[in-house]
Amino acid sequence: MRHAISLSVLLFGVWLLLSGHYVPLLLSFGVISCLLVVAVSVRMDVTDHEGHPIHLSIAALKFWPWLVWQIILSNIAVAKSVLFSSHPISPNIILVPAKQKSDLGKVIYANSITLTPGTISLELEGDLILVHALTREGAKDLAGGEMHDRVVKMEGKA
Amino acid sequence: MDLLLDGLSWVLLLGGGFFIFVGGLGLFRMPDFYTRIHAASLTDTMGAGMILIGLMLQAGWTLNSAKLVMILVFIFFTSPTSTHALAKAALFAGIRPLISPPEKQENAKDDGEDAPS
Protein backbone atom coordinates (compact mmCIF):
# COMPACT_ATOMS: atom_id res chain seq x y z
CA MET A 1 0.00 0.00 0.00
CA ARG A 2 2.83 2.33 0.97
CA HIS A 3 4.49 1.59 -2.34
CA ALA A 4 1.28 2.12 -4.31
CA ILE A 5 0.79 5.55 -2.74
CA SER A 6 4.36 6.68 -3.33
CA LEU A 7 4.22 5.35 -6.89
CA SER A 8 1.05 7.40 -7.54
CA VAL A 9 2.66 10.54 -6.15
CA LEU A 10 5.81 9.95 -8.20
CA LEU A 11 3.89 9.24 -11.42
CA PHE A 12 1.71 12.30 -11.00
CA GLY A 13 4.78 14.41 -10.29
CA VAL A 14 6.36 13.19 -13.51
CA TRP A 15 3.11 13.82 -15.37
CA LEU A 16 2.92 17.39 -14.05
CA LEU A 17 6.50 18.14 -15.06
CA LEU A 18 6.13 16.63 -18.50
CA SER A 19 2.76 18.08 -19.41
CA GLY A 20 3.03 21.78 -18.48
CA HIS A 21 -0.73 22.23 -19.10
CA TYR A 22 -2.50 23.01 -15.84
CA VAL A 23 -6.20 23.17 -16.72
CA PRO A 24 -8.77 21.07 -14.82
CA LEU A 25 -9.68 18.82 -17.76
CA LEU A 26 -6.11 17.80 -18.53
CA LEU A 27 -5.20 17.51 -14.83
CA SER A 28 -8.05 15.08 -14.29
CA PHE A 29 -6.91 13.06 -17.34
CA GLY A 30 -3.50 12.94 -15.71
CA VAL A 31 -4.90 11.73 -12.39
CA ILE A 32 -6.97 9.06 -14.12
CA SER A 33 -4.08 7.74 -16.19
CA CYS A 34 -1.76 7.67 -13.17
CA LEU A 35 -4.30 5.73 -11.12
CA LEU A 36 -4.79 3.36 -14.04
CA VAL A 37 -1.06 2.68 -14.22
CA VAL A 38 -0.88 2.13 -10.46
CA ALA A 39 -3.87 -0.24 -10.61
CA VAL A 40 -2.23 -2.24 -13.39
CA SER A 41 1.10 -2.46 -11.57
CA VAL A 42 -0.59 -3.49 -8.30
CA ARG A 43 -2.36 -6.25 -10.21
CA MET A 44 0.97 -7.26 -11.79
CA ASP A 45 2.42 -7.37 -8.28
CA VAL A 46 5.39 -5.16 -9.14
CA THR A 47 4.77 -2.39 -6.58
CA ASP A 48 6.96 -4.01 -3.94
CA HIS A 49 10.27 -3.08 -2.38
CA GLU A 50 12.10 -4.33 -5.47
CA GLY A 51 10.16 -2.57 -8.20
CA HIS A 52 9.89 0.64 -6.25
CA PRO A 53 12.60 0.77 -3.55
CA ILE A 54 11.52 3.80 -1.49
CA HIS A 55 13.29 2.39 1.58
CA LEU A 56 16.63 3.17 -0.11
CA SER A 57 15.87 6.80 -1.00
CA ILE A 58 17.91 8.53 1.70
CA ALA A 59 20.81 6.09 1.58
CA ALA A 60 20.84 6.34 -2.22
CA LEU A 61 21.22 10.12 -2.01
CA LYS A 62 24.46 9.55 -0.13
CA PHE A 63 25.67 6.85 -2.50
CA TRP A 64 25.00 8.67 -5.78
CA PRO A 65 27.38 11.62 -5.34
CA TRP A 66 30.20 9.18 -4.62
CA LEU A 67 29.20 7.09 -7.66
CA VAL A 68 29.12 10.18 -9.87
CA TRP A 69 32.63 11.06 -8.66
CA GLN A 70 33.84 7.53 -9.49
CA ILE A 71 32.23 7.81 -12.93
CA ILE A 72 34.07 11.07 -13.59
CA LEU A 73 37.42 9.57 -12.49
CA SER A 74 37.03 6.43 -14.57
CA ASN A 75 35.81 8.42 -17.58
CA ILE A 76 39.06 10.35 -17.52
CA ALA A 77 41.04 7.11 -17.17
CA VAL A 78 39.28 5.47 -20.14
CA ALA A 79 39.59 8.64 -22.23
CA LYS A 80 43.34 8.58 -21.55
CA SER A 81 43.56 4.95 -22.71
CA VAL A 82 41.75 5.89 -25.91
CA LEU A 83 43.84 8.96 -26.65
CA PHE A 84 47.36 8.19 -25.49
CA SER A 85 49.46 5.17 -26.28
CA SER A 86 51.31 5.85 -23.03
CA HIS A 87 48.23 4.45 -21.22
CA PRO A 88 47.92 1.01 -22.81
CA ILE A 89 44.85 -1.14 -22.26
CA SER A 90 45.14 -4.54 -20.60
CA PRO A 91 41.70 -6.16 -20.89
CA ASN A 92 41.03 -8.87 -18.35
CA ILE A 93 38.22 -10.68 -16.62
CA ILE A 94 37.85 -11.03 -12.86
CA LEU A 95 35.34 -12.48 -10.44
CA VAL A 96 34.33 -10.13 -7.64
CA PRO A 97 32.22 -11.15 -4.64
CA ALA A 98 28.79 -9.56 -4.16
CA LYS A 99 27.84 -10.10 -0.55
CA GLN A 100 24.79 -7.83 -0.53
CA LYS A 101 21.86 -9.30 1.38
CA SER A 102 19.13 -8.78 -1.19
CA ASP A 103 18.91 -9.33 -4.92
CA LEU A 104 18.19 -5.64 -5.22
CA GLY A 105 21.51 -4.78 -3.55
CA LYS A 106 23.38 -7.11 -5.89
CA VAL A 107 21.73 -5.60 -8.94
CA ILE A 108 22.55 -2.08 -7.71
CA TYR A 109 26.17 -3.18 -7.28
CA ALA A 110 26.34 -4.83 -10.70
CA ASN A 111 24.74 -1.81 -12.36
CA SER A 112 27.14 0.55 -10.61
CA ILE A 113 30.03 -1.54 -11.95
CA THR A 114 28.64 -1.31 -15.47
CA LEU A 115 27.88 2.40 -15.17
CA THR A 116 31.50 3.23 -14.37
CA PRO A 117 33.38 3.16 -17.68
CA GLY A 118 36.22 0.66 -17.78
CA THR A 119 34.32 -2.13 -16.04
CA ILE A 120 31.31 -4.14 -17.24
CA SER A 121 29.48 -6.78 -15.25
CA LEU A 122 29.10 -9.72 -17.60
CA GLU A 123 27.19 -12.04 -15.34
CA LEU A 124 25.73 -12.18 -11.84
CA GLU A 125 25.52 -15.64 -10.38
CA GLY A 126 24.90 -16.31 -6.70
CA ASP A 127 27.39 -14.26 -4.72
CA LEU A 128 29.77 -13.60 -7.61
CA ILE A 129 29.90 -11.08 -10.41
CA LEU A 130 31.95 -11.73 -13.53
CA VAL A 131 33.52 -8.42 -14.55
CA HIS A 132 35.31 -7.44 -17.74
CA ALA A 133 37.77 -4.64 -17.07
CA LEU A 134 39.59 -2.51 -19.62
CA THR A 135 42.78 -2.21 -17.58
CA ARG A 136 44.36 -4.15 -14.74
CA GLU A 137 44.33 -0.98 -12.64
CA GLY A 138 40.56 -0.73 -13.07
CA ALA A 139 40.16 -4.37 -12.05
CA LYS A 140 42.39 -3.82 -9.04
CA ASP A 141 40.39 -0.79 -7.91
CA LEU A 142 37.20 -2.78 -8.14
CA ALA A 143 38.67 -5.76 -6.30
CA GLY A 144 39.68 -3.31 -3.56
CA GLY A 145 36.01 -3.41 -2.68
CA GLU A 146 35.18 0.19 -1.81
CA MET A 147 32.16 0.27 -4.11
CA HIS A 148 31.04 -3.09 -2.72
CA ASP A 149 31.21 -1.87 0.87
CA ARG A 150 29.34 1.31 0.04
CA VAL A 151 26.48 -0.61 -1.59
CA VAL A 152 26.35 -2.93 1.45
CA LYS A 153 26.22 0.11 3.72
CA MET A 154 23.49 1.74 1.69
CA GLU A 155 21.44 -1.43 1.79
CA GLY A 156 22.09 -2.01 5.48
CA LYS A 157 20.94 1.39 6.66
CA ALA A 158 17.46 0.97 5.27
CA MET B 1 26.05 36.24 -13.31
CA ASP B 2 24.63 35.55 -16.74
CA LEU B 3 28.10 35.57 -18.18
CA LEU B 4 29.29 33.10 -15.55
CA LEU B 5 26.37 30.73 -16.22
CA ASP B 6 26.88 31.03 -19.96
CA GLY B 7 30.59 30.33 -19.61
CA LEU B 8 30.05 27.34 -17.36
CA SER B 9 27.41 25.97 -19.67
CA TRP B 10 29.72 26.33 -22.68
CA VAL B 11 32.51 24.55 -20.82
CA LEU B 12 30.13 21.69 -20.02
CA LEU B 13 28.75 21.51 -23.56
CA LEU B 14 32.22 21.47 -25.12
CA GLY B 15 33.45 18.98 -22.52
CA GLY B 16 30.51 16.70 -23.28
CA GLY B 17 31.24 17.00 -26.98
CA PHE B 18 34.85 16.13 -26.30
CA PHE B 19 33.92 12.97 -24.41
CA ILE B 20 31.49 11.91 -27.13
CA PHE B 21 34.25 12.42 -29.69
CA VAL B 22 36.69 10.38 -27.62
CA GLY B 23 34.05 7.66 -27.24
CA GLY B 24 33.62 7.55 -31.00
CA LEU B 25 37.37 7.48 -31.54
CA GLY B 26 37.62 4.67 -29.00
CA LEU B 27 35.17 2.60 -31.04
CA PHE B 28 37.75 2.63 -33.85
CA ARG B 29 40.87 2.29 -31.75
CA MET B 30 39.83 -0.54 -29.41
CA PRO B 31 40.74 -4.03 -30.56
CA ASP B 32 37.69 -6.17 -29.76
CA PHE B 33 33.99 -6.14 -28.94
CA TYR B 34 34.25 -5.89 -25.16
CA THR B 35 36.84 -3.13 -25.11
CA ARG B 36 34.68 -1.20 -27.60
CA ILE B 37 31.79 -1.29 -25.13
CA HIS B 38 34.06 0.42 -22.61
CA ALA B 39 34.80 3.19 -25.09
CA ALA B 40 31.12 3.57 -25.96
CA SER B 41 30.21 3.97 -22.31
CA LEU B 42 32.10 7.27 -22.30
CA THR B 43 29.41 8.78 -24.50
CA ASP B 44 26.45 7.86 -22.34
CA THR B 45 27.96 8.79 -18.98
CA MET B 46 30.19 11.86 -19.20
CA GLY B 47 29.20 12.85 -22.74
CA ALA B 48 25.45 12.83 -22.22
CA GLY B 49 25.75 13.99 -18.60
CA MET B 50 27.84 17.07 -19.33
CA ILE B 51 25.76 18.10 -22.34
CA LEU B 52 22.49 17.72 -20.42
CA ILE B 53 23.80 19.70 -17.43
CA GLY B 54 25.11 22.36 -19.81
CA LEU B 55 21.67 22.59 -21.40
CA MET B 56 20.07 22.83 -17.95
CA LEU B 57 22.22 25.88 -17.21
CA GLN B 58 20.96 27.41 -20.46
CA ALA B 59 17.32 26.66 -19.62
CA GLY B 60 17.43 27.95 -16.03
CA TRP B 61 14.71 27.11 -13.50
CA THR B 62 12.09 26.11 -16.05
CA LEU B 63 10.02 23.07 -16.89
CA ASN B 64 12.54 22.27 -19.61
CA SER B 65 15.24 21.81 -16.99
CA ALA B 66 13.03 19.37 -15.10
CA LYS B 67 12.61 17.38 -18.30
CA LEU B 68 16.37 17.38 -18.87
CA VAL B 69 16.88 16.07 -15.31
CA MET B 70 14.46 13.27 -16.10
CA ILE B 71 16.30 12.39 -19.30
CA LEU B 72 19.55 12.25 -17.32
CA VAL B 73 18.05 9.97 -14.66
CA PHE B 74 16.54 7.67 -17.29
CA ILE B 75 19.86 7.42 -19.14
CA PHE B 76 21.68 6.60 -15.92
CA PHE B 77 19.19 3.85 -15.07
CA THR B 78 18.81 2.30 -18.50
CA SER B 79 22.30 2.49 -20.00
CA PRO B 80 23.98 0.01 -17.60
CA THR B 81 21.11 -2.40 -18.17
CA SER B 82 21.47 -2.31 -21.94
CA THR B 83 25.27 -2.46 -21.73
CA HIS B 84 25.03 -5.50 -19.49
CA ALA B 85 22.53 -7.16 -21.85
CA LEU B 86 24.84 -6.54 -24.80
CA ALA B 87 27.95 -7.87 -23.04
CA LYS B 88 26.18 -10.92 -21.64
CA ALA B 89 24.63 -11.76 -25.01
CA ALA B 90 28.06 -11.50 -26.64
CA LEU B 91 29.59 -13.73 -23.98
CA PHE B 92 26.92 -16.40 -24.45
CA ALA B 93 27.11 -16.16 -28.21
CA GLY B 94 30.71 -17.31 -27.78
CA ILE B 95 32.65 -14.15 -28.55
CA ARG B 96 35.91 -14.69 -26.67
CA PRO B 97 37.14 -11.59 -24.90
CA LEU B 98 40.64 -10.53 -25.77
CA ILE B 99 42.76 -10.98 -22.66
CA SER B 100 46.06 -9.22 -22.30
CA PRO B 101 48.97 -11.55 -21.50
CA PRO B 102 48.84 -12.16 -17.75
CA GLU B 103 51.63 -10.74 -15.66
CA LYS B 104 50.79 -12.55 -12.49
CA GLN B 105 47.11 -13.55 -12.36
CA GLU B 106 46.95 -16.82 -14.26
CA ASN B 107 43.44 -17.57 -13.00
CA ALA B 108 42.01 -14.37 -14.44
CA LYS B 109 42.44 -15.82 -17.90
CA ASP B 110 40.83 -19.15 -16.99
CA ASP B 111 37.69 -17.40 -15.78
CA GLY B 112 37.25 -15.83 -19.18
CA GLU B 113 37.68 -19.09 -21.03
CA ASP B 114 35.33 -21.09 -18.82
CA ALA B 115 32.47 -18.66 -18.65
CA PRO B 116 30.71 -19.22 -22.01
CA SER B 117 30.18 -22.95 -21.48
Q: Using DSSP, state whether B47 is helix, strand or coil.
A: helix
**Partner B contacted by A82 (CB < 8 A):** yes
What rounded mean pLDDT belongs to chain B?
A: 84
Is the CATH number 3.30.70 carried by domain A55-157? yes
Percent of chain A with pLDDT over 90: 35
Q: What predicted TM-score, i.e. pTM, was given to this entire model?
A: 0.83
Domain ranges in chain A?
Answer: 2-43, 55-157
CB contact under 8 A, A134 and B111: no
DSSP chain A: -HHHHHHHHHHHHHHHHHH----HHHHHHHHHHHHHHHHHHHHTT--STTTS-GGGHHHHHHHHHHHHHHHHHHHHHHHHHHH-TTS----EEEEEE---SSHHHHHHHHHHHHHSTTEEEEEEETTEEEEEESSHHHHHHHHHTHHHHHHHHHHHH-
Q: Which of A89, A112, A121, A136 to mutate to test the interface with B (most CBs of B within 10 A)?
A: A89
Of A17, A81, A120, the CB nearest to B84: A120
In chain B, which residues have their Cβ closer than 8 Å to the Cβ of A134? 35, 38
What rounded mean pLDDT belongs to chain A?
A: 88
Nearest-neighbour CA in chain A from B3: distance (Å): 26
- Residue pLDDT, tens place only, A75-129: 999 999 999 888 888 898 999 999 888 888 898 899 999 999 889 999 988 889 9
Residue of A nearest to B29 (CA): A82
Is residue A156 very low, low, confident or very high in pLDDT (cuts 50, 70, 90)?
Answer: confident
Is residue B108 very low, low, confident or very high in pLDDT (cuts 50, 70, 90)?
Answer: very low
- In this prediction the ipTM stands at 0.80
Domain ranges in chain B?
Answer: 2-114
